[in-house]
Amino acid sequence: MSAPKKKKTAKTLRGSLPKFDPNPSARFASAFLLGEGVPHALIGRIAMWTLLPQDQHEFTKDVDFAVPLRFCEPIRAALARRNIVPRDLPIGGLAVREGEIKVDFIDRREGGLNRLFEEAIEAAGRAGPRTRVAGSKIPVVPPEYLLALKVVAAERKDQDDALRLLRALPGLDLRQARDIVFRHGGPGSANLLDALARQAGRPDARPEYRNGG
């Protein structure tokens, strides 16, 4: 049985943390990517801000956008036309640091995760939530994909973020998320998601396998 379609929602970015206002970066990136015809979706900590209660917004110092790998060099060229010289990201993509503009365009070629990123962007375009910046609506990766991105990355901070998502979003389709994780990260990543779901106390978590021998 297919899961019911999720209703698109629009939220406004509100920087509850005074040390970093994400709006100038998100405004610049949204206008730039739309103007250049680059498919994109909001990811990272700011995407989590759109999904979690305000008291769970953890500090970040930039705004992350997922972009397809094939657009990396066109993005670099388009930035150059604006006299902006980005730096390369070790995980794949480009970082812009220009005054109050702090944005990463991430393709995640490192580790071969670019296909997961491209699939997440496509899902955001079809049925992802939206966040509003300066009158424009920015696509955000759906919760199931944001969770998958965190689990497949397999870093400690990402696992902590995954736990927050699992605890705060009871409506998250855990089965769909596991399918995504298995497809792009294999059984090891899927087992990690199972363990995190149990740790989060999810009633829909897979039970732990115990060898009776």
Can you read off the two tokens belonging to residue 5?
A: 């379609």
| pLDDT score at 1 | 33
Percent of the chain surpassing pLDDT 70: 88
Task: Show Cβ contacts of residue 59 under 8 Å, excluding neighbours closer than 6 positions.
Answer: 17, 19, 20, 45
Percent of the chain surpassing pLDDT 90: 69
**CA dist., res. 184 & res. 190, Å (int):** 9
Q: Which residue has the tokens 């939206």?
A: 130
| pLDDT score at 20 | 78
**CA dist., res. 103 & res. 64, Å (int):** 6
The amino acid occupying position 155 is E
Are 123 and 145 in contact, with CB atoms under 8 Å apart?
A: yes
| pLDDT score at 166 | 97
Residue 63 main-chain phi, psi, to 5 deg: -115, 130
Q: What are 95's strand-pairing partners?
A: 87, 104
| pLDDT score at 213 | 45
**CA dist., res. 46 & res. 49, Å (int):** 5
Are 59 and 20 in contact, with CB atoms under 8 Å apart?
A: yes
- Using DSSP, state whether 183 is helix, strand or coil: helix
- pLDDT digits over 85-131, tens only? 999 999 999 999 999 999 999 999 988 899 999 999 999 998 878 88
| pLDDT score at 178 | 98
**Nearest Cα to 42, choosing from 24, 26, 61?**
26
In Å, what is the CA distance from 186 to each residue of 4, 54, 174, 190, 193? 26, 33, 16, 6, 11
What integer is the mean pLDDT of 11-25? 65
| pLDDT score at 94 | 98
Q: Which CATH number fits domain 13-141: 1.10.8, 1.10.4190, 3.30.70, 3.30.460?
A: 3.30.460
**CA dist., res. 105 & res. 95, Å (int):** 6
CATH 3.30.460 placement within the chain: 13-141
